[in-house]
Copies of this chain bind each other. A is one copy, B any other.
Amino acid sequence: MSTPETMKALVQLHDGYSGRQEGPVIDDLAPLLEYREVPVPQPGPGQALIKVDLAAVNPSDLHFIKGEYGQPRVKGAPAGFEGVGTVVAGDTPFVGQRVSFYATHSGTWADYALTEARGLIPCRPDLRAEDAAGLIVNPLTASAMFDIVRDSGADSFILTAAGSQLGKLLIALGRDYGIAPIAVVRRAQQGEMLRDLGAEEVLVTSDPEMLAKAAPIMKARKPRILLDAVGDQHTADLFFAMPNRARWVNYGKLSTEPPRLTQLGQLIFQHKKIEGFWLTEWMKTASPEKLGAVITEVQERFVSGKCRTDVTAVVSLADAMSELPAATKKLDGKVFLKP
């Protein structure tokens, strides 16, 4: 397999951070990205070049290209963190194999991507392309955060944005490990699907009685961990309605509303805490054994059907500039880019 000198890619038009916090919503890609021909990146020591089969589009990608993610943009470099493909060159025994990967050196929204060889995850042959393309960001985040839930010792946990792909993975984990998921969603019509999946309780933030309905649930189920991807006042209100020693673990900011800490005294007298979770940081501290075990379990869960990737759209890379923004606004699943 010979590698061409150039490739098509969605490349970033800006360096660094925007200084804004607008959330992962994009109406128009033109101010941010350009679809064009760029040189195929060359693997250096410890790196691997992958021919991309399918790339994921995560909220973190949208935050990133808008300049509001935890690492700076690089002008001229392809976007896209996650994908699946075939290793075509590099400092790795996996050349020729299908791998899931997180692109650290040149993004996945391109024909070829470049990453650290030690991060390659060989895929089982029976793993669907859509599952393989989204094997890292959501499933690893779900598993790592679910460890926090298990360590809490509580019999239940709360999650916001429960209808998201990551939310559904968390609900399935709660169901399978017997820790009751309390699912928080914006719209009542998401409730039934989440109950079918394993949510024991559903709270709807558009319901003016939401907090009144939450009170008996908090009392009966005593959740300790609130896994939150929204970061709005509803989340803060739920946190303050939780029992002693509750922890608000924020991992995303779908809302642009700055939540108010209306009962700060609970941090003193009820030992509550507010903190964040970032997969990038977690991966730096997790042992290779832990990572390997989680990855193996994640693949098994997808292949066995215990969890699944709901696909909203597969957009061709060539059409992304016009089609991707609308596709990312659909709420029922995940969007992929096909080079």
Contact = CB atoms under 8 A, between A and B. Distances in A.
Interface of A: 21, 68-71, 231, 236, 250-253, 258-278, 281
Contact of A273 (B231, B269, B273, B281): B273
B268 A70 contact: yes
Nearest to A273: B275
Identify whether the interface residues of A are mostly helix, strand, loop, or mixed.
Answer: loop
Contacts of A274: 261, 267, 273-275
A265 B236 CA distance: 15
Contacts of A250: 264, 267-268
Contacts of A278: 268-269, 271
Contact of A258 (B68, B260, B269, B270): B260
Contact of A276 (B71, B262, B267): B267
Nearest to A230: B264
Contacts of A269: 69-71, 276, 278
Contacts of A236: 261
A70 B258 CA distance: 27
11 contacts: A21-B263, A21-B265, A231-B264, A236-B261, A258-B261, A259-B261, A267-B275, A269-B278, A272-B276, A273-B275, A274-B275
A265 B63 CA distance: 11
B265 A259 contact: no
A212 B270 CA distance: 34
A268 B248 CA distance: 12
A179 B267 CA distance: 26
A128 B258 CA distance: 48
A141 to B, nearest CB: 11
A276 B281 contact: no
Tell which of A21, A276, A278 has the most Cβ of chain B within 10 Å.
A276
A256 to B, nearest CB: 10
A261 B263 CA distance: 13
Given A269-B69, A269-B278, A276-B269, A258 B253 contact: no
A320 B34 CA distance: 74
Contacts of A262: 258
A281 B273 CA distance: 14
A164 to B, nearest CB: 16
Nearest to A259: B261
Contacts of A71: 269
Contacts of A267: 250, 274-276
Contacts of A263: 21
